[in-house]
Structure 1
């Protein structure tokens, strides 16, 4: 039987194999760091094969930075790590299809390559902006370990490396580019062919982010640059000539042609409707009659019901205003003293949407203060998280990405988990069943922060609790709405508000090496378990799912056969048995079920003849089952 590798794929060797299919003559052999032969590429021959397309020794446009080559290597380098389940921190473990993963997102993106290849409909990230204050991920290729530790090193409690990219760092932009490049390169391979990635950023690294994305996704797949007004009030910073009120959202498709063929989404204009005045035309919402900045309108004087005279630029001409006023479609808030607003009705906007533009206003897509208020409402105290994104913003991005029911949204800089909140909220509104995968490094909270004082030690604890509270609130609102249904109306179903927590850890396998002189006949024949002593069956199962490329959200059941525990994943997709000394009766019962895959511990069988017997049983009873051991 084949043994499972229990490490991520070597993307460099996979790329070499792909090149070899096109140009077999450029494949050669080289020695690795241990002196063993492996496949390599003769780049001089490859240049000759592509001589019409290669620019060599001539001026050409190229975006580069210190550490670029090393960051490319980093993206392709395999790791020996795994994801360990944490049921006690999860919610609705057995039924949920959502994931919350703790750990360095570079490791996580590598670990997800098999299970979620070409499977994610939308990725949203809000990475560190490299302002000199953000803590960002530090990769090992920048300098040797001791130099790095002495100059920049700070570590979290599980050894993940962090550093603060200060103005004094000579590689202020290079370090940031080297951090982002491998993550975006790995993220691209997870996107579905009609998938979309949306990235928040400010002025500081906007230019570099766009250049990196053009390298990875291609300029032809650039979908747009959205300017989002993140605050509703005017800044009063006397140290700046231009105050910052907007942030940027860069949007790239994996393949623009496929995206357009399958259809882009529209922004929902339905809004929040109610009928506080008993309008006979039904539920309504309103928008300002006064024009916004950059819009054109008509100038005339309006008198409010309280007698206040208002001069300004208005959405329609005076005759239109008088007609709408007569139809009672103009309202004046604040007891007749406020600015006029125009009513629009639910029936006018149902199933209506608009194409996204590159200017997103704070009143429609939310703002930072509103996002802070949302968290305050959920947690009961202020300043739980710095600069969270509003749910309205993420909700709109999910809509324009056209994420449909059962499709996956990934956020690998998940922070306060706004993306998860937005997915659940949108599912509640339209009855969808979109899935989310949140990834976050457990960065410690400042001990002086309100979050730490409230008992939240790291950002992951905030994110998980936010999902719990927001999910409970959403389903409670659905229950309340269902109680008020009219006779002919269909009740809404509760949404999936759970999540499985998984944490990055070292491989499940022991590092056991012997020198040639240490090998004996007994050592060769004895069954020595190569699995770490602290690993559970569930740890092993999820390591197997990762290597076999199965989604980590699949249904998982446990049964017992002759007092031996077996794990059944997605009915017949996989059956695993990690018990010691598995009897033949159990092996036969598993084989009779004809799963697509079966896996055992290597040490479960007393001898080589027992292993051969297992293979023969499966050949007889389940010839199409792939059988492996760990």
Structure 2
């Protein structure tokens, strides 16, 4: 039985695999730092293979650069080494829910999610810091000091001596923000399904930079739209220059050829435009102009109305949109409207029963359709009983706005996973619950938030993360009370980022004495429960950490079952426990390494699985 690896797969190794698949001739071997031969990519060979398509060195090229970009790219490639620990006491319906709230730095968490959710996320919506310096709870001002920017950008040397004649320091307000956003977006892209999409809220401060790094990460060909959201219902008379009435939402697809927005439902006002003044048996219809400005040579001909009036042709500078033959066919079928007295310029009847069921989404979203900032704050105050006004977030988004995004992103019943790794007050999770209630959907949410402390600590409400938990608990309770028979997942499983549950076994031999050698027989850190270890195994093996967990016993030992994974982390195990696990014929089985008295017991356990469940992959911690 092999030991379970401690670290997640290196993203750089995954990229090397892709290169090896495309260009097998560039794969070679080198001697690594540990003295062992390891696979590598021969970049010289790759350069020769690509020929004139390679650009490097001082050659000019189009790109966005800033001090810290190399660090940002390096952070996007670093593997995860921590884990997530379940917190039952703060969860709702822990054993059955598919929803997750994760407390931790989103960069650490995104690295951990690479294995279980690679290519599985249908929708990502994030509302990151806008880098305005105005938000008093989020660390929303990533500007550097002037000295720090000049040093980092190579414009000054040791002792602050200028290296350029006219140093530029305006970019210091953007570099740290870009360095923060870049690796998170790069990791997020890996999680998107091939037909997945990401929506990102932003304002004028960083819209240009966000679009540039989004284009670099997702590809210019996968940019979908730049939406304008009217965020206020009245102008700000206190504005010094212009009242800023809107924010933006950038939309990038993982593969634009695979994703399209779903049509929106028609509004009552739209349907009211269809009437039936002539009692047509085909139902309500709307008259559409028959002329257009685009040149159409077959669209120039005279028309005689039923009243006998001759219309010489279309209005000056325009053309009939249909040919004479098609016009006669429509008229014979009663699809031309001449007016009540038969003397009007003809119009084509468009029947409601024949138009598409929905409407094409537009890039202008008015507040009367998707809410405004005051709606957002009212919703937050309704579900979170703040004791201190200083703790009320000012940058929340309305639930209606996120529900609009959910409506566009995918089909309600596809079991889509919705990720928000700047989850803040839990607006996205709130919207998922309400939208599932409205359309019978079965979407799942994953919210990630760092435990940012509030300005004034309150009982049960010490951080932004706890604001989100409180809000969604109360939203779920309200839905449950109003719709007791609704078959909805109204729970969530709380997970918390922590260091690995396994101590580092890579100890230099010259520092290891007899006592230290004995300690190496059990690598599990003190205080870790069976569920802690189970979740770490799920993450390392790329299994969904939201998989329902059931508990069984054998010979008095706890056996944890999560889908096709069965684990027993008891301090000691008997042959009966091993056989009980094997008889479940799981795809994966995990035991505590120190639970086996010796190598003979490990060999016997392997023989039991070979006999009872030979397809099971058996590991030890």
Q: 1:363 aligns with which of 362, 365, 368?
A: 368
Q: CA deviation at 1:125?
A: 0.2
Q: CA deviation at 1:360?
A: 0.2
Larger Rg: 2
The residue aligned with 1:14 is 14
Distance (Å, rounded) in 2 between the aligned partners of 1:170 and 1:184: 21
Q: CA deviation at 1:44?
A: 2.5
User: Taking structure 1 as reference, are residues 514 and 112 closer, same or farther at Cα in structure 2, changes over 3 Å only?
Assistant: closer
* Matches for 1:46-65 after TM superposition, within 5 Å: 46-56=46-56, 58-65=59-66
The residue aligned with 2:591 is 600
Residue 507 of structure 1 aligns to a residue in which SS?
A: coil
The residue aligned with 2:3 is 3
Q: CA deviation at 1:542?
A: 0.3
The residue aligned with 1:567 is 560
* Matches for 1:543-582 after TM superposition, within 5 Å: 543-570=536-563, 573-582=564-573
Distance (Å, rounded) in 2 between the aligned partners of 1:137 and 1:629: 44
Contact preservation (8 Å) 2:131, 2:141 = no
The residue aligned with 2:197 is 196
Q: CA deviation at 1:269?
A: 4.2
Distance (Å, rounded) in 2 between the aligned partners of 1:522 and 1:247: 62
* Matches for 1:171-320 after TM superposition, within 5 Å: 171-240=172-241, 242-260=242-260, 264-269=261-266
The residue aligned with 1:300 is none
Distance (Å, rounded) in 2 between the aligned partners of 1:138 and 1:86: 32
The residue aligned with 1:111 is 112
Do residues 128 (structure 1) and 129 (structure 2) align?
yes
User: Taking structure 1 as reference, are residues 169 and 101 closer, same or farther at Cα in structure 2, changes over 3 Å only?
Assistant: farther
Q: Which runs of 5+ in 2 are unaligned?
A: 153-167, 270-351
Do residues 391 (structure 1) and 382 (structure 2) align?
no
| TM-score, length basis structure 1 | 0.76
Contact preservation (8 Å) 1:527, 1:603 = no
Q: Which stretch shows the higher mean deviation, 561-570 or 350-359?
A: 350-359
The residue aligned with 2:422 is 413
Do residues 501 (structure 1) and 494 (structure 2) align?
yes
Q: Which runs of 5+ in 1 are unaligned?
A: 152-166, 273-346, 480-491
Q: CA deviation at 1:377?
A: 2.1
Residue 373 of structure 1 aligns to a residue in which SS?
A: helix
Distance (Å, rounded) in 1 between the aligned partners of 2:239 and 2:521: 70
Contact preservation (8 Å) 2:132, 2:141 = no
Q: CA deviation at 1:526?
A: 8.0
The residue aligned with 2:503 is 510
Q: Which stretch shows the higher mean deviation, 588-597 or 400-409?
A: 400-409
User: Taking structure 1 as reference, are residues 121 and 53 closer, same or farther at Cα in structure 2, changes over 3 Å only?
Assistant: same
| TM-score, length basis structure 2 | 0.77
Contact preservation (8 Å) 1:121, 1:403 = no
The residue aligned with 2:81 is 80
Q: CA deviation at 1:13?
A: 1.9
* Matches for 1:430-445 after TM superposition, within 5 Å: 430-445=439-454
Residue 489 of structure 2 aligns to a residue in which SS?
A: coil
The residue aligned with 1:429 is 438
The residue aligned with 1:343 is none
* Matches for 1:16-55 after TM superposition, within 5 Å: 16-29=16-29, 38-55=38-55
Instruction: Kindly provide the CA deviation profile for residues 574-607 of structure 1, in whole angstroms up to 9, marking residues without a partner as x.
Output: 1000012210111112112211110111111111
Q: Which stretch shows the higher mean deviation, 377-386 or 62-71?
A: 377-386
Distance (Å, rounded) in 2 between the aligned partners of 1:42 and 1:425: 53
Instruction: Kindly provide the CA deviation profile for residues 413-458 of structure 1, in whole angstroms up to 9, marking residues without a partner as x.
Output: 00111111110001111111110000001101112xxxx4565211
Q: CA deviation at 1:494?
A: 4.0
Q: Alignment length, in residue pairs?
A: 512
Q: 2:577 aligns with which of 572, 586, 594?
A: 586
Distance (Å, rounded) in 1 between the aligned partners of 2:180 and 2:574: 50
User: Taking structure 1 as reference, are residues 526 and 539 closer, same or farther at Cα in structure 2, changes over 3 Å only?
Assistant: closer
User: Taking structure 1 as reference, are residues 376 and 611 closer, same or farther at Cα in structure 2, changes over 3 Å only?
Assistant: same
* Matches for 1:516-527 after TM superposition, within 5 Å: 516-517=509-510
Q: CA deviation at 1:36?
A: 6.5
The residue aligned with 1:306 is none
Distance (Å, rounded) in 1 between the aligned partners of 2:251 and 2:92: 32
Distance (Å, rounded) in 1 between the aligned partners of 2:128 and 2:519: 50
Contact preservation (8 Å) 2:376, 2:397 = yes
User: Taking structure 1 as reference, are residues 130 and 36 closer, same or farther at Cα in structure 2, changes over 3 Å only?
Assistant: farther
Distance (Å, rounded) in 2 between the aligned partners of 1:138 and 1:503: 26
